[in-house]
Structure 1
Amino acid sequence: MDSKQLLAFALDKIDDMKARDIVHIDVSKSSDITDFMIVCSGTSKRHVLSIADHLAKEARHADAEPLGYEGQSDGEWALVDLGDVVVHVMQDQARSYYDLEKLWG
């Protein structure tokens, strides 16, 4: 998958799990690490983990093995690194505190 296909794939999979307030940011001009960043919210620790788990499992099934997966034990903020797309799934409090959209937007 190219980076735009991977972005569409990730957006679809987090939408499957009813992620809220989904924002994607093209960071290709400001980052050598990834092309796109997705930030979305979950309603609870369990919801955050479910969204991230679903994305990681579906990526594996599509032969897009995640390069990293962080935050499984906490549930406040989970990160799934798909290479060209990095997905941040956060609870509202963590999302407003770190304000990644402002930092990268």
Structure 2
Amino acid sequence: MTASARARELLQVATEAADAKAATDLVALDVSSPLPFVDIFLLASGNSERNVIAIAGEVEDRLNEAGIKTLRREGRSEGRWILLDFGDLVVHVFHQEDRTYYSLERLWKDCPTVPFELPVGSEA
């Protein structure tokens, strides 16, 4: 199984939103084979709790504006690891230290990455 076209469209909106708030280390993983209930995990990092909260807020706002409902939100008050569930897409926004500690890329290393495009001039 591979990520659906819809999940890829959501990913594009989410990556552009995260990039707009200076997210770093954006990585999208196709988790559709091992997880039947989600297609893509988007991982992003922020350099402070405030930045993590801003990134997650922008992603949620833009996807909600696009008509995509947030199904679940976890970790917003701490600003260390925020999980946003949009069904086909789950967004994980980490503080840099927590991302290194939990190392989801290592946990899901057998899952292929999903390409996405960022606006010209972005450095994520």
Interval of TM-score (by shorter of Structure 1 and Structure 2): over 0.9
Residue 74 (str. 1) matches residue 78 (str. 2): yes
Secondary structure of the residue that 1:2 maps to in structure 2?
helix
| Residues 20-39 of structure 1: per-residue CA shift (max 9 Å, x gap) | 01111001111112100011
Specify which structure has the higher proportion of helix.
1
Residue 91 (str. 1) matches residue 95 (str. 2): yes
Match of 1:22 in 2: 26
Specify every segment of 5 or more residues in structure 1 that has no aligned partner in the other structure, as ranges.
none
TM-score (norm. length: structure 2): 0.81
Displacement of 1:18: 1.1
Match of 2:7 in 1: 3
Specify which structure has the higher proportion of strand.
1
| Residues 11-67 of structure 1: per-residue CA shift (max 9 Å, x gap) | 111111110011110011111121000111001000000000111111111100111
Specify every segment of 5 or more residues in structure 2 that has no aligned partner in the other structure, as ranges.
110-124
Distance, in Å, in 2 between the alignment partners of 1:81 and 1:53 is 13
Distance, in Å, in 2 between the alignment partners of 1:42 and 1:20 is 6
Distance, in Å, in 2 between the alignment partners of 1:11 and 1:52 is 11
Identity of matched residues, %: 38
